[in-house]
Structure formats: C-alpha cells, structure tokens
A and B are shown apart, each in its own frame.
Chain A
Amino acid sequence: SQTIHQWPATLVQPVGSPLSLECTVEGTSNPNLYWYRQAAGRGLQLLFYSVGIGQISSEVPQNLSASRPQDRQFILSSKKLLLSDSGFYLCAWGGGGPNTGELFFGEGSRLTVL
C-alpha cells in the first residue's frame, strides 16, 4: 500500500534562517506531488505542485522554493524565513487522471518563525 512521510513534524526557526521540509512517498510511482500551507484558522493554500522529476509549478509568489530530486521525494525550502512563513505545511500525492482530486496527505509540519 501507499504511504507518505513528512518531516519534521514541528520546528521553531528564527527569522532569516533557512528551511527544509521533506516529503517522501512509498508504494507508487510517478505521483503528482503537492505542497500546501494552512495559516491559523484558514483554508488550504497551494504553494507548489510537481508532475515529474525536476518539474515544479509555483502557485504563489513567495520566498519559498520546491524541488523534486527523485520521483517520490518532494522538498520545500527557504533561504531566509519570514514571520509570515509560519503555518502548517502539508505534503500530498495524487495519482492524476480522472481522480486528480483524490489526494493523500502527510501528517503535516508545523513551522513557527520567531
């Protein structure tokens, strides 16, 4: 069966520090991969998605970046965090096709920028 792992689960970072969140998927190949963010009490905001290795689409201009170095690995990064980067980050994978709305989410990473 397919599983998705996301880490770290929580982190507290100072403003201006770098960030790296990692997500890996097991049990499937060539998944569509997504990074979402939830601010406190808000809905889901799509940050990036990827349909293949090295293919990254950005939905929101910001100081974050994403990379997909391997088929089932998706990384969210920042060189210098801002206070506004605080939030709950969710990685998800989907199979595409007619069920593109069917996504499988990781447990999330809560980032607090101080």
Chain B
Amino acid sequence: AQSVTQLDSHVSVSEGTPVLLRCNYSSSYSPSLFWYVQHPNKGLQLLLKYTSAATLVKGINGFEAEFKKSETSFHLTKPSAHMSDAAEYFCVVSPSGGSYIPTFGRGTSLIVHP
C-alpha cells in the first residue's frame, strides 16, 4: 500500500522569497507522483507530475519538484513566491496493484505575505 505525508499543514512566506512544500511518500513500487493546487472555492489543478522520466520536474507557474528515491521525497519548490500562489497544495501518489484510487496528502496551505 502507498501513503503520502505532507509535512507541513501551513507554510508562510513573504512575497519574493522561496517556497518549499514538503512531501514524503511510501510505496512498494516505483510510483508516479503529482502536485495539485487548489485556490479557494475552486477545483484542483495539476501543477506537475513525475512519471519515471527526469527526476527534476518543471510545472506551471514557475513551480518545480524533485523526485528523490533515496529520501522517498517529492518536495515542491518555487524560487520566488507571488501573492497569487496563496492556495492549498496537495501531493498525490498513483495507486498500485490494479487500484483506481490515487492517494492524496492532507494538503499544505501556502500563505504569502506582502
């Protein structure tokens, strides 16, 4: 079985400073990993995905994530936060063994101060 742990429920940064949202996963196989963003009262939008190609994955809006198998991590980063980045972020691992249910982390709320 797989699991996802988002290590911070809230992250607070100032505009223009770097963003780091942490995600650790547990999986008995080589997983696909995803980051989603959800703005208030909106659906989730895919930011980026890792599917066993390059370990450094670039996504939309300047975000990127690095897959580190040795650390079982898939942290999301951005060099410079913008006010519009304030949202909820979810780390997701694809299912295994014929399941159709991806596993979502509990989410990290990113707060951006002016």
Residues of A participating in the B interface, judged by any CB pair closer than 8 Å: 6, 32, 43-44, 46, 49, 51, 57, 59, 88, 90, 92, 94, 96, 98-108, 110
- Once bound together, how far apart are the Cα atoms of A59 and B46, in whole Å? 23
Q: B7 near A: Cβ within 8 Å?
A: no
* Residues of A contacting B41 in the complex (Cβ-Cβ under 8 angstroms): 88, 108, 110
Number of A-B contacts (CB under 8 A): 68
* Residues of B contacting A92 in the complex (Cβ-Cβ under 8 angstroms): 43-44
Q: Would you call B49 and A102 a contact (CB within 8 A)?
A: yes
Q: Would you call B100 and A100 a contact (CB within 8 A)?
A: yes
* Residues of B contacting A46 in the complex (Cβ-Cβ under 8 angstroms): 101
Q: B45 near A: Cβ within 8 Å?
A: yes
With A94-B102, A101-B102 known, 12 other A-B pairs at CB within 8 A are: A46-B101, A90-B44, A96-B100, A98-B32, A98-B94, A99-B32, A100-B94, A101-B33, A102-B94, A103-B36, A108-B41, A110-B41
Partner of B107, one of A43, A57, A96, A98: A43
* Residues of A contacting B93 in the complex (Cβ-Cβ under 8 angstroms): 101
Query: Contacts A43-B105, A46-B101: A101 and B34 contacting too (C-beta < 8 A)?
Result: yes
* Residues of A contacting B49 in the complex (Cβ-Cβ under 8 angstroms): 99, 101-102
CB closest residue in chain B, given A10: B41
Query: Contacts A99-B49, A101-B33, A107-B42: A43 and B104 contacting too (C-beta < 8 A)?
Result: yes
